[in-house]
A and B are shown apart, each in its own frame.
Chain A
Amino acid sequence: MSTTNASSEAPLEGGRRGLLRRRPAAGTPAAAARDRRRSKQRRRLANVAGLMAALVLTGVGYSAFAPGAIAADEQSSTESIAVEAGRELYVLSCITCHGSNLQGVEDRGPSLIGVGSASVYFQVSTGRMPLVRQEAQAPEHPVIFTEAEIAQLMAYVQANGGGPSIPSGDLRDGELAEGGELFRLNCASCHNFVGEGGALSSGKRAPSLDGLTDEQIYAAMLTGPENMPVFGDNQLTPEEKRSVIDYVQTIQDQADPGGAAIGRAGPVAEGLVIWVAGVGALLFGIFWMGTKA
C-alpha cells in the first residue's frame, strides 16, 4: 500500500508545478504559442495524472474500508471470477436444497454457512453431492464436477459462508505408529480396524477409507460429514490428523504378507472361505474318493 502511495505522489506534484508556472509564461506570441502547446500537453498530462490519482485513491480507499480486503489486485480478481463461476454452479446444482443464500431448505438440505471449503471439497469430490434423493445417508456416486469446478464451488461457499479449509502441504507428515493408536482409539469403532468401513444403525454406515485422498480424509476429520463426529483441532491437532492420514494411507498401500486379504474383514470372511472353499474342496475330494472303490 505504501508503494502505491509513493508512486501516486509523483504525478500529483508535477501537475501542481505545471499549474503554478503557467501564469508568468504568458508574454510573447511565440512564447505564448509554445506555451499553449506546452500547456496543452501539460494539461493532458495533468488530466491523465489526476484521473490516475483519483483511481488510485479510490482503490486505496476501497481496499481500506471494504470488508474482507484482499491486498493483491490480480489475485482478488481471479478469486472473484472463481466465486462468480462457483455461484453459477451453485445456482444450477445446489440451490434447490441449500437455498439461495446458503441458508438451507427445511427437510431438504442443511445450511452451508460456516461449513467451509473443506466440507464442500469432501462432499463434492467424493461424489456424495449433488445428492440424487434423500436417503439414510448420501451414497458415493461418480464425481460429476471437474477439479476446477470443485475449486469454484469451494471458493463460492468459502466466500459467502466461511468456515474451515484444508491446509496445504504434506498431509502425511506425521508419526505412523501414533497415527495407528489414534486411529484405533477414534476411528476404528466405526470404520473397522483398518478403515474397511462398517454398518451403523438404520441403513447408515461408516464408509471404507479405501482410495481416498489425503485431503478428503483431512476434510472428513475437520468437518464431520454425515454421521461422523467433527474432530476439531482441539480434539485431534493438525499434527495428529496428519499422523492418522499417514497410518490410514500406509496401511491401505501395504501388501498383505499372508496372501489374499479377503477384504481384511476378519472372521466372517474367513468362515465363508473355510465353508465354501475349504469344506467344498474336501467334499469334492471325498466324493471323488468314494467313486474310486
Chain B
Amino acid sequence: MATTTAAPGAPTTKIGQAALEVDDRLIVAGPLRRTLNKVFPDHWSFLLGEIALYAFMILLVSGTYLTFFYDASMEEVVYEGVYAPLRGVEMSAAYESTLGLSFDVRGGLLIRQIHHWAALLFVAAIVIHLIRIFFTGAFRRPRETNWLIGVVLLVLALLMGVTGYSLPDDLLSGTGLRIISAIILSLPVIGTWAHWAVFNGDYVGTEIIGRFYIAHVLIIPAILLALIAAHLLILVKQKHTQFPGAGRTEHNVVGNRLFPTFAGKATALLFIVFGLCAALGGLVQINPIWLWGPYNPAQVSAGSQPDWYIGFLDGSTRLFPAWDINLPGDYTIPALFWPTVVGAGLMFTVLALYPMIERKLTGDTASHHLLQRPRDVPVRTSVGAMALTFYVVLWISGGNDLIADKFDISLNAMTWFGRIGCLVLPPFAYWMTYRLCLGLQRHDREVLEHGIETGVIRRLPSGEFIEVHQPLGPVDEHGHGQLAYGGASVPKKMNQVGGARRAIKGFFKPIEEPAEVQRQAELEARGLEAEQSDRQTISSGRPSEGGRPSEGGRPQAPRD
C-alpha cells in the first residue's frame, strides 16, 4: 500500500481508485469521456424521439411481465373464471389466459393497460419525431441513413402493433385478423399462397396466434432493438443537428453536455413518460377484451376499428370504391388490394425515398448540420402539409362510423366527405401553407429592413402619424437595416432585444419579474455571459476536420 507512490493527478478517493482499476483493465476512460461530453442541442423538439425510446423501454419491461401469464394457444377451452358474463362460453386458450391475466393476476390488468397505452404512445412519438425531422430538413446529407432506419422503425412499430393487437384473440382483434387475411388474399397471383404460408391453411386455422406471438415477442423486437441501437450510434457519430442561431455554425453543436445536464433531463423525461403511461394505465380503460367477447368468425360488431396507427388504412379502405377487376379466366383483383397494399406501399416508399427525391430535385448534395426553419423551405413544408392532410383525412375516415354516430351526421355524408376531401383538401393545404411560409418570410425580411414595431406612434410636423421602428442593426441613408437573414428566428418584439431589460426564457412566455432581471444584470455586470452554453465541434465522420474535445476539454461550469 505504502510502497506505490501515487502519480500526480491520480485519484485519491476510494471510488476514484476503483475506477482507475477498471480503466487499467478495460481502457474505457477515453471513449466514456467523449460520450459523457457529447453535446445535445437545447430545444424541446429534440426530445420527441426520446419519448419514443422511453415508450419502447416501458413496452419491453411490461411486455415481459405479460408473457409470464399469456398462453399463445388457439386450443378451445370453456371459461370457468371469475368473470360471470362469460362463464361457460367456449373460447381460445389465448383469450382465456388474457382474461385470467386481467382479472386474476395481481397487477395484471394495470400492466396490460400500461403496455397498450405505451404502444399507442410509442407510435405517436415516432410519428411526431418524423414530422419534426421532415419539416426542419434534418434528414439531409449526411443523415439519410438514419432517416431510412427511422422509416423502417416506423413500419416495424406498426407490425408490432398489428401482431400485438391480435394476440388476445377477442372479437375485436379477430375482426382485425380477418381483414389482415383478406388483405393477404387480395395480393394478385401470390395471394392464396401467401395466405397459406402465413396462416398455415385457410382462415383462421390453429397456428396464427402462436406465429404472431413469436413475431411480436421475439422477431420484431429483436430487429427493432438492433435498428434502434444503430439509429442512436449513427446519431452519436454524426452528432445532432441544431437550429441556426448566435454562435451556431455548420461545424459545431451548441447545447448541454450529456453529463450532467442532459442526463438529468433525459432521466426526468423517462420518468415523465413512464408516469404518463402508468397514469393512463391506471385511470383509463383500454381494450376491455371482456366486453368484446371471445373471437367467433360468425360474429362481427359495429365500430370494429384498429388502433389509431392503422386507422389510415381502415379509412382508405372505407373510402375506396368497390372496384373489383375481373379478368378472364375466373381471376379477380379485389378492390381491397388498392387502398391497402398499393396505398400503404406507395406511401411508405415515397416516405423512405424522400431525402433522395429532394436531393435529386433541388440538386443540393452538400452536408447540412444546421436545420432549416420550415418557412424558409416553402415547397417542402407545403408538400409535408399536403401529405399530412391526406393522411388525416384517411385517418378520420377510419373512424367515420363513430363520428357519424356521435355527431349525428349521415355515414354516407362522412364517406363522401372523405372521398372528396382526400382529393381536394391536400392541394388546398399546399396552397395555404405556401402562402403562410411566404408571409412569414416577408415579415422576417420586413423586420430586418425596417426594424421592430415599437408600438410608439409619433405625429410628424406635417400631421402624418408614423409608428416608430427599432432597427436591429446599422441602417443605411434611407433608414433601412443592412442585416441579412441568417436562417435564425428574428426578434419581433422589443423585449426580445432587451427592450424590457432582457428577455428571459420562461415557461411559454418570457419571465419579466424584476428579481430574475436583476440577477441576470448582475451576472452581466461581472462580465459573465448570462446564459452559457456548451459547444462541441462537428466531426461528422471526418476525424481530420474534427474538433474532438481534448483530454483537458472538460466543460467549464459557469462560475458565479
Which residues of A approach B to under 8 Å, CB–CB?
136, 176-178, 180-181, 184-185, 188-194, 196-203, 205-206, 247, 250-251, 254, 256-262, 264-271, 273-275, 277-279, 281-282, 285-291, 293
- 0/1 string, B171-190, CB within 8 A of A gives 1: 11000000000000000000
Chain A residues in 8 Å Cβ range of B88: 177-178
Q: A188-B301, A288-B507 are in contact. Are A264 and B282 (CB under 8 A)?
A: no
A206 engages B283 (CB within 8 Å): no
CB pair A184–B120 under 8 Å, yes or no, is no
A259 to B269, CA, bound (A): 25
A180 pairs with B85, CB closer than 8 A: yes
Closest chain A residue to B409, Cβ basis: A203
Q: A177-B84, A275-B308 are in contact. List 18 more A-B contacts (CB 8 A).
A: A184-B299, A193-B303, A199-B411, A202-B411, A203-B410, A256-B288, A259-B113, A260-B283, A267-B287, A268-B399, A270-B307, A273-B284, A274-B120, A274-B308, A289-B268, A290-B42, A290-B43, A291-B507
User: Would you call B377 an interface residue if the criterion is a C-beta within 8 Å of the partner chain's C-beta atoms?
Assistant: no
Once the chains are docked, how many angstroms separate the CA of A199 from the CA of B287?
A: 21
**Residue B476 at the chain A interface, CB threshold 8 Å:** no
Q: Does B412 contact A (CB under 8 A)?
A: yes
Q: Which residue of A lies closest to B47 (CB)?
A: A286
Q: Is the CB of B411 within 8 A of A291?
A: no
Q: Which residues of B contact A286 (CB under 8 A)?
A: 44-45, 47-48, 51, 269
Q: Is the interface of B mostly helix, strand, loop or mixed?
A: helix
When the two chains form the complex, which single residue of B268, B276, B283, B410 contacts A282, counting CB atoms closer than 8 Å? B276
Query: Quick one: given A193-B301, A256-B285, A290-B44, are A271 and B411 in contact (CB under 8 Å)?
Result: no
Q: Give the shortest distance, in Å, between A54 (CB) and chain B (any CB).
A: 64
**Chain B residues, Cβ within 8 Å of A188:** 171, 293, 299-302
Contact partner of A287 among B113, B288, B508, CB < 8 A?
A: B508
Residue in chain B with minimal CB distance to A191: B302
Instruction: Specify which chain A residues have a CB less than 8 angstroms from the CB of B276 in the assembled complex.
Output: 278, 281-282, 285
- Residues A282 and B51 in contact, CB atoms below 8 Å apart: yes
User: Given the complex of chains A and B, what is the CA–CA distance between A206 and B302 in angstroms?
Assistant: 9
**Are A205 and B43 in contact, CB atoms less than 8 angstroms apart?**
no
Complex CA–CA separation, A27 to B283 (angstroms): 108
With beta carbons under 8 angstroms apart, the residue of B120, B272, B405, B408 that contacts A270 is B120
The 3 A-B pairs of least Cβ separation, nearest first, read: A271-B308, A258-B285, A198-B302
B121 close to chain A: CB less than 8 A:
yes
Whole-angstrom CA separation of A93 from B410 in the bound complex: 29
Q: Specify the chain B residue showing the minimal Cβ separation from A270.
A: B286
* List of B residues within 8 angstroms of A289 by Cβ: 44, 47, 265, 268-269
Chain A to chain B contacts (Cβ below 8 Å), 22 pairs: A178-B88, A180-B85, A188-B293, A193-B292, A197-B405, A202-B410, A205-B404, A247-B85, A266-B305, A267-B308, A270-B120, A270-B287, A271-B399, A274-B308, A279-B124, A282-B125, A287-B44, A288-B507, A289-B265, A290-B44, A293-B505, A293-B531
B228 within 8 A of A: no
Closest to A247 in B: B85
Is B109 in contact with A258, judged by CB distance below 8 angstroms?
Answer: yes
Number of interchain pairs (Cβ within 8 Å): 204
Per the 8 Å Cβ criterion, residues 262-287 of B in contact with A are 265, 268-269, 272-273, 276, 280, 282-287
Closest to A206 in B: B302
Cα(A59)–Cα(B545), bound, Å: 119
Looking at the assembled complex, report how far the CB atom of A224 sits from the nearest CB atom of chain B, in whole angstroms. 17
Residues of B within 8 A of A177 (CB): 84-89
B291 at the interface (CB under 8 A from A): yes
Q: List A contacts of B47 (CB < 8 A).
A: 286, 289-290
Task: Note all chain A residues with C-beta closer than 8 A to B533.
Answer: 293
* A199 interface neighbour in B103, B398, B404, B508, Cβ under 8 Å: B404
Which B residues are in CB contact (< 8 Å) with A277? 280, 284
Known: A198-B302, A268-B305. A260 touches B284 (CB 8 A): yes
B73 beta carbon closer than 8 Å to chain A: no
Q: How far is the CA of A185 from the CA of B405 in the complex (A)?
A: 21
Which residues 2-44 of B have a CB within 8 angstroms of A? 42-44
B352 at the interface (CB under 8 A from A): no
Query: Does B242 have its Cβ within 8 Å of any Cβ on chain A?
Result: no
A261, A267, A268, most chain B CB atoms within 10 A? A267
Q: How many Å from the CB of A245 to the closest CB on chain B?
A: 13
- Smallest distance from the beta carbon of A292 to chain B beta carbons, Å? 8
Q: How many angstroms from the CA of A178 to the CA of B287 in the assembled complex? A: 22
Contact B85 A265 (CB under 8 A): no
B124 lies within 8 A of A278 (CB): yes
Bound together, the chains give a CA A250 to CA B87 distance in angstroms of 14
From B121, B171, B280, B306, give the contact of A267 (CB < 8 A): B306
B451 within 8 A of A: no
Instruction: Give the nearest-CB partner of B123 in chain A.
Output: A274
B298: A residues at CB distance < 8 A = 185
CA A198 – CA B273 in complex, angstroms? 34
* Complex Cα spacing A285 to B277, Å: 14
Contacts of A206 in B (CB 8 A): 302
Docked Cα-Cα span, A277 to B306, in Å, equals 19
Whether the Cβ atoms of B120 and A278 lie closer than 8 Å is yes
Whether, in the assembled complex, B117 has its beta carbon less than 8 Å from a beta carbon of chain A, the answer is yes
Q: What residues on A are CB-neighbors of B531 within 8 Å? A: 293
Query: Which residues of chain B are within 8 angstroms of A262 by Cβ–Cβ distance?
Result: 284-285
Contacts of B306 in A (CB 8 A): 267
- Contact A273 B280, CB 8 Å, known A285-B272, A291-B505: yes
Interface pair B109/A291, CB less than 8 Å apart: no
Bound together, the chains give a CA A286 to CA B273 distance in angstroms of 10
CB contacts (< 8 Å) of A251 on chain B: these are: 85, 291
* Chain A residue at minimal CB-CB distance from B532: A293
